[in-house]
Amino acid sequence: MPSTKQILVVENDQTLRELLEFLLNREGYKVKTVSDGDFAQKELRENPSYHLIILDLLLPIITGRQLLRWIRRSPEIMHIPALVLTDLQDEDDIASALDEGANDYVIKPFQPKELQARIRKLLQIKRSSQG
């Protein structure tokens, strides 16, 4: 991997946060994890150079939906791909998240290899759109 891609993981479940951090670090990504949407907004204001955001919709304080809308309205970070990783399986939840700007949607529990492939795809999309 020529340059280390930075990924922000926004997940309130500590065990899953640690698992995602482990899986992504093993793939060579630089990972920052936060536990809610409020922390995510603060982190993105301080460091708008992430290559990907992975977020749950069911977050405390600021929900994943609110965070996604905020990201898509913020000029300095609106280009960052967002992958929703959530328990919500209802077709309306999926459609709503995609309509609000999610680039992909994965339902928990997830298959690690599938998640990693989706992440690679999103990172390639970003890389090619800048080139």
In a domain, 54, yes or no: yes
In the predicted model, is pLDDT for residue 50 greater than 50? yes
Spatial CA neighbour of 30 closest among 65, 2, 4, 56: 4
CB contact at 8 A, 50 and 41: no
| pLDDT class of 47 with cuts at 50, 70, 90 | very high
66-83 tens-digit pLDDT: 999 999 999 999 999 999
Residue 97 and residue 93: Cα distance in Å, rounded? Answer: 6
In a domain, 130, yes or no: no
Over residues 85-103, the mean pLDDT reads 97
Residue 56 and residue 101: Cα distance in Å, rounded? Answer: 14
In a domain, 79, yes or no: yes
5-35 tens-digit pLDDT: 999 999 999 999 999 999 999 999 999 999 9
Helix residue ranges per DSSP H, the chain: 14-26, 37-46, 64-73, 91-99, 112-130
Q: What's residue 126's pLDDT?
A: 52
| pLDDT class of 61 with cuts at 50, 70, 90 | very high
In a domain, 1, yes or no: no
In the predicted model, is pLDDT for residue 127 greater than 90? no
In a domain, 61, yes or no: yes
CATH code at 48? 3.40.50.2300
In a domain, 131, yes or no: no
Domain count, the chain: 1
The whole domain housing 66 covers: 6-124
